[in-house]
Amino acid sequence: MQGERLVGGEAYDVRRVLHRPEGVHVRSLLTSLDVLEVLRPRGPFLCIRLYAGCVGGCGRPGKNAFLSCRVAGLTIDWEQQKIVAANPQPHGKGRSVKHMPPKTPDERNPVDVRPQGEVPDARVAFWGDRGLSPLVTDYYQLTMMYAHFRRGTAGKRAVFDVFFRRTPCGNGYAIFAGLAQALEFLARLRFTREDLEELRRLGFTDEDFLRALAEFRFRGDVWAVPEGTVVFPYEPLLRVEATLFEAHLIETPLLSIVNHQTLIATKAARVVTAADGDPVLEFGLRRAHGPEAGVWGARAAYIGGVHSTSNVYAGTRFGIPVTGTHSHAFVQSFPSEREAFLAFLDAFPERAILLVDTYDTLRQGLPTAVEVLREHRERLGRSPEVYGVRLDSGDLAYLSKVARRMLDRAGLKDALVLASGDLSETIIRDLKLQGARIDAWGVGTDLITSADCPALGGVYKLSAVASDGGALEPVIKVSDNPEKITNPGRKQVWRFYHKRRGEAMADVIALDEEPVPSGPYEIFHPVYTHKRKILEDYEVRPLLEPVLRGGEVLAPPPSASEARRTAQEELARFSPEVRRLLNPHEYIVDLSLPLWTLKQNLLRQVSRPARPYAAEPYDQNGNGNSGSPPS
């Protein structure tokens, strides 16, 4: 039906939605209209295509500009991202498509709805599709939601923290990634009619419960550290404040997003560290754990510091430089290597990287490539923008030295030697120690799968829940494994930097209501409390920032380039000892005194002293022990 879309079993008429009151956030409107995609600007217009078929034209402002634009009669302040006037035009049948400006090929590419800034990352389809289904969750999330619904506690407020207990790969730190996809997921989360039918088939037949799901929108608050931030164990990466009904539903997908992307960003940072300034090219799509993991993994790897990706979709969607050479099959498809190389240079005269190990690297591939590249350079009368050879097998240290000598003797001293083939940070580091003459590294499987440490192990734990009176009360989870005991309450993370040197000194996990430190500040080890230190001459920065309030995204998520820059700037402020690959220095992360005291008090409340006469609850035959004292 033109102008309508069924969402969660109910019909939402676009014409009615357009009568939203003034002051509504643009992203809220686009979410409510179920935007299919936002198209590349054509002249002064930005086309917004909806699932319902409703289309409008929007102007795009310059930097720090106010501009009125029309989305079916809506006046928008792009600077504040707010609707400032609502004057809907009549919306007759079929009229929406008629008013769409003619498409050019570029217009079919999704772009972000925000005004473009200095970062060329404007093609991120933040609102480009429905996003993750709410059924991408664990079954027990739904059972808990229904139990709360039946009990009448679904609306109780709670606070959950996302954090990890150990850094991946034995690294000294992690790079937080995944915020952009997490915000996209939360802002677009809703159940369709098809989702509800699937839940009926799973046994959820309570119509009141299904109606609550049909009307579901995430209306909670989320705080997060900026994407690209250097983070450490037990520090909250995300703080979710929502109803128990909402908080349970989002746990599994949030962990899936953050665990994967933080892992890959950290792995990429390790590879980049090993490369020691050489460009690292991400080549992992074909070995990723599925296409989606390859796409978001490429973005995470770029945040972690890689130079470019072979993943075309990730490159166009996230503004990442795209690169690639050619395969062995391309060479095999020609009568000779020379003909294959000439064909490739003819097609790409300025990007002339030739793969030389299809048959025999030393006797055939390298000599032929050097000859063809020399002739190509003479024809151009200059060096191509990028040219050289790629080694994909064999003893890369030895072959790279031979390749460098051959290229130099042919006068191709600015030609590159690129290496690929099951590389990892350990192999790259060893090759550099052996004096390999390699200028750039193509890393695939080991990076995109984080092969030596395939999971981060992040968790989502309750830290506060509303009492019967409505006030949030801190809670703690106790475990037989001491490292699994949680930190209670609503928390903030303070990072202390040396005021003159700019170097990160320590992090302190504190209660959110504590004042920001000033003056001499004593920190202490949360377990070995005799280890103490006084911090002076410092600057302090709270890491957690509000990113979602009442379900509304407060600001566009950072682009991949912005998050990458954050990671580079952050890493530069940590000592080389923290950043080294093997046996890194343990960076200080302590608890504030009020948080430590609260934790100890709660531990005393929930811990029951063992009865001296009941050593074991069961005897050796599995029978219950009465616990009676010996006579």
> For position 524, which CATH number holds?
3.20.140.10
Say whether both 497 and 579 belong to one domain: yes
Say whether both 83 and 148 belong to one domain: no
The C-alpha R_g of the chain, in whole angstroms, comes to 29
- Using CA of residue 309, residue 298, residue 576, residue 571, what is the dihedral sign? positive
Contact 273, 431 (CB under 8 A): no
Contact 150, 234 (CB under 8 A): no
Mean predicted lDDT score pLDDT of the chain: 82
Contact 426, 433 (CB under 8 A): no
With b meaning 16 or more CB within 10 Å and e meaning fewer, what string describes 153-168?
A: ebebbbbbbbbbeebb
Residue 471 is assigned to a structural domain of this protein: no
Tell me which residue has tokens 């179920």: 34
Query: Cβ neighbours of residue 315 under 8 Å, at least 6 residues apart?
Result: 298, 308, 309, 321, 322
Strands 440-443 and 416-419: parallel
Residue % of the chain over a pLDDT of 70: 76
Domain boundary among 212, 239, 258: 258
Q: What is the pLDDT of residues 225-255, one digit of tens each?
A: 999 999 999 999 999 999 999 999 999 999 9
With b meaning 16 or more CB within 10 Å and e meaning fewer, what string describes 98-127?
A: eebeeeeeebebbbbbbbbeeeebbbbbbb
Among candidate residues 299, 253, 290, the one with its CA nearest the CA of residue 133: 253
Residue 91 is assigned to a structural domain of this protein: yes
Say whether both 52 and 149 belong to one domain: no
Question: What is the pLDDT at residue 612?
Answer: 60
- Reading the block at residue 295, the tokens are 């796409």
Say whether both 95 and 154 belong to one domain: no
Say whether both 73 and 20 belong to one domain: yes
CATH code assigned at 436? 3.20.20.70
Residue 174 is assigned to a structural domain of this protein: yes
Among candidate residues 279, 169, 209, the one with its CA nearest the CA of residue 584: 169
Going by the DSSP 8-state scheme, the letter that residue 409 receives in this structure is H
Strands 459-466 and 157-163: antiparallel
Say whether both 77 and 155 belong to one domain: no
Question: What is the pLDDT at residue 412?
Answer: 98
Among candidate residues 193, 181, 194, the one with its CA nearest the CA of residue 131: 181
Contact 401, 395 (CB under 8 A): no
Domain boundary among 409, 443, 477: 443
Task: Tell me the HSE value of 390 on the side-chain side, using a 13 A CA sphere.
Answer: 21
Residue 122 is assigned to a structural domain of this protein: no
User: 509: buried, middle or exposed (CB in 10 Å: 19+, 13-18, 0-12)?
Assistant: buried
Say whether both 93 and 143 belong to one domain: no
Single-letter amino acid, residue 540: V
Say whether both 339 and 429 belong to one domain: yes
Residue 576 is assigned to a structural domain of this protein: yes
Gap between the Cα atoms of 445 and 424, Å rounded:
9
Tell me which residue has tokens 């959950």: 160
Could you give the angle at the alpha carbon of 49 between the alpha carbons of 45 and 52, nearest 5°? 145
Say whether both 144 and 104 belong to one domain: no
Q: pTM, whole model, 2 decimals?
A: 0.79
Q: What is the pLDDT of residues 390-404, one digit of tens each?
A: 999 999 999 999 999
Q: How many residues does the chain have?
A: 631
Gap between the Cα atoms of 546 and 543, Å rounded:
10
Q: Is 539 helix (H, G, I), strand (E, B) or coil?
A: strand
Say whether both 40 and 143 belong to one domain: no
Residue 131 is assigned to a structural domain of this protein: no
Residue 263 is assigned to a structural domain of this protein: no
Q: Which residues of the chain have pLDDT under 50?
A: 1-128, 627-631
Gap between the Cα atoms of 568 and 565, Å rounded:
5
The domain of 56 spans 4-108
- Number of compact structural domains in the chain: 4
Question: What is the pLDDT at residue 620?
Answer: 58
Question: What is the pLDDT at residue 480?
Answer: 86
Residue 291 is assigned to a structural domain of this protein: no
Say whether both 149 and 251 belong to one domain: yes
